[in-house]
């Protein structure tokens, strides 16, 4: 596969290229190592394309996972505590998890354990490979990468998406680069407040 387009939000790509160029090299290597034609294995049952061969998101994700894991990228999880009090959330969201819980209890509120999980993290860069429903991409861009950034786990988040030309050969539902680029730009230059690289790939 190949990188067709790339969008750098809040200088995310520049940060990687200047401070950790070896990581960008690995991302390019992984993408280039995947032969998408091997994963055109899903027989469509949808009314508009019954019997058509489509890309299998499960098989594609599995291949990407194998490639990243071989290069020592690993799944990561960040835990935190939430409550119903807006002011208390604002006061505690940048604190370590244990301190968040303690301060919520001290304020007489109920702390609720929560967490975010990301596909791959290495040297303070997180990667999500997203061939799932469009709602998952929005969660990645506006919630998940932000949680890891605020939690001081990462400096940059990378979102890898199919281009429209590839998405057209997938079941209905997965998002695509052009759509998510629009969604990010529509929010304004400072939102989400985390450096990102949105990458569009195709066979």
Q: Tell me how many helices (H) and strands (E) the chain has.
A: 9, 8
Confidence of residue 189 (pLDDT cuts 50, 70, 90): confident
Is 100 part of a structural domain of the chain?
no
Read off the CATH number of the domain in which 139 is found: 3.40.91.20
- Say what the pLDDT of residue 71 is: 97
Number of structural domains (the chain) is 1
Is there a cis peptide before residue 91, judged by omega within 30 degrees of 0? Answer: no
The pTM assigned to this predicted structure is 0.89
Is 106 part of a structural domain of the chain?
no
Evaluate whether 34 touches 18 at the Cβ level (below 8 Å): no
The phi, psi pair for 88, rounded to 5°, reads -65, -40
Domain span at 41: 2-80+119-202
State the Cα–Cα distance between residues 142 and 139, nearest whole angstrom. Answer: 5
Segment 62-77 mean pLDDT: 95
Is 92 part of a structural domain of the chain?
no
Residue 47, pLDDT above cutoff 90 = no
- Say what the pLDDT of residue 138 is: 87
- Say what the pLDDT of residue 70 is: 97
Task: Name beta bridge partners: 125.
Answer: 122, 156
- Say what the pLDDT of residue 28 is: 98
Is 193 part of a structural domain of the chain?
yes
Is 90 part of a structural domain of the chain?
no
State the Cα–Cα distance between residues 21 and 70, nearest whole angstrom. Answer: 18
State the Cα–Cα distance between residues 152 and 57, nearest whole angstrom. Answer: 31
DSSP state for residue 95 in the 8-state scheme: S
**66 C-beta neighbours (distance < 10 Å), count:** 12
H-only helix segments in 82-170: 86-92, 97-106, 134-139, 145-150, 164-167
Is 44 part of a structural domain of the chain?
yes
Is 151 part of a structural domain of the chain?
yes
130 Cβ contact list (under 8 Å, min separation 6)? 136, 137, 140, 159, 160, 161, 174, 175
Task: Name beta bridge partners: 122.
Answer: 125
pLDDT digits (tens, 9 = 90+) for 86-138: 999 999 988 888 999 999 999 999 999 998 888 899 999 999 999 987 788 88
Is 159 part of a structural domain of the chain?
yes
Q: In the numeric block, which tokens belong to residue 135?
A: 């709602």
- Say what the pLDDT of residue 18 is: 98
């Amino acid at each position: 596969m190949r990188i067709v387009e790339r969008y750098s939000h809040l200088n995310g790509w520049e940060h990687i290229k200047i401070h950790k160029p070896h990581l960008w090299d690995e991302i390019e290597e992984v993408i280039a190592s995947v032969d998408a034609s091997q994963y055109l294995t899903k027989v469509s049952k949808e009314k508009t394309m019954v019997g058509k061969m489509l890309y299998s998101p499960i098989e594609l994700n599995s291949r990407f996972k194998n490639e990243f894991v071989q290069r020592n990228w690993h799944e990561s999880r960040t835990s935190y505590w939430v409550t119903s009090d807006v002011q208390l959330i604002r006061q505690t969201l940048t604190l370590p998890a244990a301190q968040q819980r303690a301060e919520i209890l001290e304020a007489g509120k109920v702390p609720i354990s929560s967490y975010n999980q990301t596909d791959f993290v290495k040297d303070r860069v997180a990667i999500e490979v997203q061939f799932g429903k469009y709602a998952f991409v929005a969660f990645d861009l506006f919630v998940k990468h932000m949680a890891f950034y605020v939690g001081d786990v990462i400096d940059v988040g990378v979102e890898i998406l199919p281009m429209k030309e590839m998405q057209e050969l997938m079941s209905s539902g997965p998002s695509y680069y052009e759509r998510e680029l629009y969604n990010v730009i529509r929010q304004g230059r400072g939102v989400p407040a985390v450096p990102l690289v949105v990458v569009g790939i195709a066979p």
